[in-house]
């Protein structure tokens, strides 16, 4: 199928529905593109071809993406019979006995699982470079990062290997790779896609799962398919008013949009990113929205510091579960320096440290959420710099302090909305002078994905990105 990569997921599903193509043919098209592009990108780290061919030839559920090839991030999403490396040497040999709860929901949407995608070690960094899996490269320029921690998924979608892929976001790990690779990336409201019984590491509520896509409608349709409440959830997300596929057909109206380039450190962002942000604000004003320059106004230093103890303790608890599963402690060479530092920090925390951390973050989140009483959308860039080269943020060879210093410079904007649980979306509005994507981040009040989808659909028409093609494509 020569024009496979020109279709989004819903487009391919319509071809299946009208019997113009079979799921088996789509699966072979995806496999051919993995084999063609993966040697240069390193996006797919497990090839589940036999399972994919069997599933494609079988009786697939009649979901919105029936027959569409799909990839799962190789981190926290179990797939029956498949290995799960978590990007780490320590997890070698780990195989999941059954599907995770959200994996089952993806299958019910009709997708065919073809393989698993590259991720940094335990998803810690905003770049997908690890000692175990190697660097994942950006289809727009393979010398540059694909972002992290869902970098493999973003690279594969941007290259046309699959039209959409699973991703997760704990501090920006959907939005950052979407921005780096020119995709639509929505961090959903906390528990909008339930973590279900297997999501132990998600106990803080920071991490959510969704997809990276090339079109707004694919993101909306997949969230309609998977984003329904878990009947046993303690704190389910507030219900939506209507399907998101209906929301993208509705006008956003005249929105109150605040924009800012303020950073937690107070340092200015790259001039080219600043100019792109200002042009986006002008575009929004031209569409009839009320647009004002206004920063979030929170104490970033206090907010980020408040989360440290609880986040470290949560990571240590997750590692202890993995250690129990594998039956041994990691050897010195089985974890990267930043991972070791995070694990040791987590094990130093007391119960009182972790609880105080959670308490302080909760109170500081009130200030973030209060900002949206007078604002419908908050606009910033996703990155503060152009997309870095491979090796600039190197968790394998750089000291942990230097990794975090560089990450803070490149990725200053995404974490507050993981802490507060709000929906936040990256859209590929611009490209820089080097031809790499520039993602803009649109954040809405808690549980209001609807307004993001309406605005994203409007921008997709006014600033269309679907016809842009990376160097590595199709």
Given 5, 85, 130, 149, which residue is catalytic?
A: 149
Q: How many CB atoms lie within 10 A of CB 348?
A: 12
Does the active-site annotation cover 149?
Answer: yes
Tokens of 253: 């109206």
Among residues 42, 4, 211, the alpha carbon closest in space to that of 139 is found at 42
**Of the residues 173, 357, 420, 426, which is catalytic?**
173
Catalytic residue among 73, 116, 187, 240: 73
398, 429 in Cβ contact below 8 A?
A: no
Partners of residue 443 on adjacent β-strands? 378, 424
Q: Reply yes or no on whether 173 is catalytic.
A: yes
Helices 216-226 + 9-17 axis angle, to 10:
70
Task: Write the burial class of residue 141 (CB in 10 Å: 0-12 exposed, 13-18 middle, 19+ buried).
Answer: middle
- 81 Ramachandran zone, left/alpha/beta (phi>0; psi -120 to 50): left
Instruction: Report the catalytic residues.
Output: 73, 149, 173
């Amino acid at each position: 199928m020569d024009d496979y990569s020109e279709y989004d997921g819903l487009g391919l599903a319509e071809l299946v529905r009208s019997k113009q193509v079979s799921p088996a043919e789509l699966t072979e098209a995806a496999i051919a593109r993995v084999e063609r592009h993966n040697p240069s990108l390193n996006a797919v780290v497990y090839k589940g071809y036999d399972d994919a061919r069997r599933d494609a030839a079988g009786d697939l559920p009649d979901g919105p993406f029936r027959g569409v090839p799909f990839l799962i991030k190789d981190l926290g999403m179990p797939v029956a019979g498949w290995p799960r490396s978590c990007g780490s040497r320590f997890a070698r040999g780990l195989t999941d006995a059954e599907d995770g709860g959200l994996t089952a929901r993806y299958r019910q949407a009709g997708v065919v699982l073809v393989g698993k995608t590259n991720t940094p070690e335990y998803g810690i960094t905003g770049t997908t470079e690890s000692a175990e899996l190697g660097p994942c490269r950006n289809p727009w320029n393979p010398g540059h990062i694909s972002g992290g921690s869902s970098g493999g998924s973003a690279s594969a979608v941007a290259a046309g290997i699959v039209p959409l892929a699973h991703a997760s976001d704990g501090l920006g790990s959907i939005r950052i790779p979407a921005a780096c690779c020119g995709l639509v990336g929505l961090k959903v409201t906390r528990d909008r896609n339930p973590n279900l019984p297997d999501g132990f590491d998600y106990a803080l509520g920071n991490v959510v799962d969704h997809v990276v896509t090339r079109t707004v409608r694919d993101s909306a349709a997949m969230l309609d398919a998977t984003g329904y409440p878990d009947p046993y959830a303690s704190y389910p997300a507030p219900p939506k008013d209507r399907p998101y596929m209906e929301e993208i057909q509705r006008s956003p109206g005249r929105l109150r949009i605040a924009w800012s380039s303020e950073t937690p450190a107070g340092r200015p962002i790259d001039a080219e990113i600043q100019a792109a942000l200002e042009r986006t604000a002008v575009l929004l004003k031209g569409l009839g929205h009320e647009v004002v320059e206004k920063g979030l106004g929170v104490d970033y230093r206090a907010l980020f510091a408040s989360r440290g103890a609880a986040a470290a303790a949560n990571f240590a608890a997750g590692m202890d579960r993995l250690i129990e599963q594998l039956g041994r402690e990691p050897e010195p060479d089985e974890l990267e320096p930043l991972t070791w530092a995070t694990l040791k920090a987590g094990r130093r925390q007391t119960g009182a440290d972790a609880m105080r951390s959670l308490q302080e973050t909760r109170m500081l989140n009130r200030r973030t959420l209060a900002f949206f009483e007078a604002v419908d959308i908050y606009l910033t860039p996703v990155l503060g710099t152009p997309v870095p080269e491979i090796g600039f943020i190197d968790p394998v060879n750089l000291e942990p302090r230097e990794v975090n210093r560089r990450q803070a410079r490149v990725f200053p904007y995404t974490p507050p909305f993981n802490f507060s649980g709000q929906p936040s979306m990256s859209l590929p509005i611009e490209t820089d002078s080097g031809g790499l994507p520039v993602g803009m981040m649109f954040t809405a009040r808690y549980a209001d994905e609807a307004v993001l989808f309406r605005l994203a659909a409007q921008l997709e028409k006014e600033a269309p990105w679907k016809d842009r093609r990376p160097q590595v494509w199709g």
